[in-house]
Chain A
């Protein structure tokens, strides 16, 4: 029966592998090559310039500024998103009052909450950005947030939000968190459902409270899922392009306060017509992202608990 096995496998795999090679692998390789040219993107020819683009990148204050904002996001956004996701998932699944015949339950109305939390996930990121841009509208009558604050008598908290240098990045991070928490609530809920109930039962018999059950049982048993979520969320934080491009004032402003690497790359390529330099940024981003993923996988590794 072994006869022709490889031919059989090749027959199935050839087409997808070819497509993958053409549309994924070859652009990757070409990006490295283009990053060493001065290609403008407008004509078919380019000059080889060696590592000039990378030297330039190293000396570019703009790029470091953008990278710094990505790093802020990389630190803050996953922690808050995953933290909230875990908290909500726990409350929805385990955190409720004890009822008859049920060892563990969610808070009242947990089904409804789960539904609502997932809402932002089904809206396209573009629409999320436009909605929030209008929520942050500084006009005291037209801006939702400001008019809400005004209505509550909190006029002193009214702000220009995205126009405010100290707040703009936080405003954008808040939207990022808002739009991703729902997904993790669902992800963690699913993972929690697979934790055997007898473990909770035993803990509860020993007198554990909600706090203990969360940190001693739920979190350790969810660790694999959290880790995956962390990498995924980190990659999202390293992007942030769509939100910043649509929401920020003056493309990454005010005065560069919300600039991120992908936006810098986009402007360099499509505004300044420096595709070679932009490719160098892409390569730099690849390195940053890979480093992040490898480090996370390496240091977050724990012993797997079989259950």
Chain B
């Protein structure tokens, strides 16, 4: 900068020099207006087609979604409880929701079903439904929020997941509990450990004080009131404690992985 300034013509007033130069130029404001207009046009063009549909846009959005996972994980307070409601607030009928019709929902025989436990746990024994039913259960009436925007209040009863993780000697320093389900096309979903250990996260066996009906995930659903509905897997057949991100049915299709409420 200093060198440039010293190379200006000695003895000439810089202000006067600029004034003289400006006089021979076309209307400056008009030139600037056109120049700015052109760059705005370029921006519209970029956002209008190129960026919107290109792979680079998808990559950028995926990056931001990962960033949003981190932000949500930071916002998540393990001591903040989901609001609970009175019995009278329960949505009736509670909606059935899946990517298939109710007729195509898994039909599981409770006598044959077993919950498979894998990964970073001390005791990998499988659990029958009768064994699980003997564990202490608690009831919660909370709001289920769907990624689509609608919500419904339901009554869920079951064993807090953190109690079960303690029972099987799970390494709770691991990053995820990954669930696999009996849905057609193999539904699965990862749950971050902090959410898995939240006091309201539940292995659900009953809905509205009745054995969990087929529509809502018989024999076992994972109820996570701090997550959007698609991260509340139904018809669960296995859980794996893992440090590996194994993806999920909807997560792999672009839904934000953390999806916390």
The answer to whether A binds B is no
